[in-house]
Chains A and B, each alone.
Chain A
Amino acid sequence: NAGVMQNPRHLVRRRGQEARLRCSPMKGHSHVYWYRQLPEEGLKFMVYLQKENIIDESGMPKERFSAEFPKEGPSILRIQQVVRGDSAAYFCASSPQGTTNNEQFFGPGTRLTVL
């Protein structure tokens, strides 16, 4: 049973470009969480999605950031017009249920560098 997959593992963008980060949850998991980790810091929650629905996006910046989890295919975190402050590691985690007391399984992360 493959774990959570994220790609690309490393992404370099110039300021103003778009970044697309993909996350394939574990088989059988339909709940995805995205977190961002700035250098030397812990992870910060961004958004929680179920298939075709955004449930909680309270941690997502209001502008330039969007997320989706279509019926088919991976979850996508999209950052438009990237700025240097977007440089971070972005992790997704999946869970069989979007409820408390459930372990979240993390992917290896995508490290975004904005030049």
Chain B
Amino acid sequence: SQQGEEDPQALSIQEGENATMNCSYKTSINNLQWYRQNSGRGLVHLILIRSNEREKHSGRLRVTLDTSKKSSSLLITASRAADTASYFCATDAGGTSYGKLTFGQGTILTVHP
């Protein structure tokens, strides 16, 4: 079964607006990470939030984690056309998982200039 599922599947906004993407997961985790993937390219790590953290910021990014609801959100403030990409959440179960990640299906974000 799919561990991480992003919502919405696609999001289209205007430059300057905020973009919010959500991720739900099923099993317990040690941390949750967000990645960005530009079309046809590799993944870029954005932010890692540990299971004992509730919120984390990095520049224009804000990530929240609610382990009781098994969900996370990624907020991009004051979006730019360059933010257009696919965004994936990935969970790390910890323990003997050796750091392997379980990815969601992703949210395709389009920011119109």
Contact surface of A with B, Cβ cutoff 8 Å: 4, 31, 33, 35, 41-45, 48, 55-56, 59, 91, 93, 95, 97-109, 111
Chain A residue contacts of B33, Cβ below 8 A:
103
CB distance A42 to B92 under 8 Å? no
Contacts A41-B105, A100-B31 given; does A48 touch B42 at CB 8 Å: no
Chain A residue contacts of B102, Cβ below 8 A:
45
CB distance A104 to B45 under 8 Å? yes
CB distance A106 to B43 under 8 Å? yes
Bound form: Cα–Cα A42–B91 in Å: 12
Query: Is the C-beta of B97 less than 8 angstroms from some C-beta in chain A?
Result: yes
Chain A residue contacts of B88, Cβ below 8 A:
42-43
Q: Which residues in chain B, 7-37, are within 8 Å of chain A measured between CB atoms?
A: 30-31, 33, 35
CB distance B42 to A55 under 8 Å? no
Bound form: Cα–Cα A101–B31 in Å: 7
Contact of A101 among B41, B45, B50, B104 (CB under 8 A): B50
CB distance B42 to A107 under 8 Å? yes
CB distance B101 to A45 under 8 Å? yes
**Could you pull out 13 A-B pairs where Cβ atoms are within 8 angstroms?**
A33-B101, A42-B103, A42-B105, A43-B103, A48-B99, A91-B42, A93-B43, A99-B98, A100-B31, A100-B92, A101-B94, A106-B44, A108-B42
CB distance A103 to B48 under 8 Å? yes
CB distance A42 to B104 under 8 Å? yes
Contacts A101-B92, A108-B42 given; does A48 touch B98 at CB 8 Å: yes
Query: Is the C-beta of B59 less than 8 angstroms from some C-beta in chain A?
Result: no
CB distance B99 to A100 under 8 Å? yes
Query: Is the C-beta of B56 less than 8 angstroms from some C-beta in chain A?
Result: no
CB distance B41 to A45 under 8 Å? no
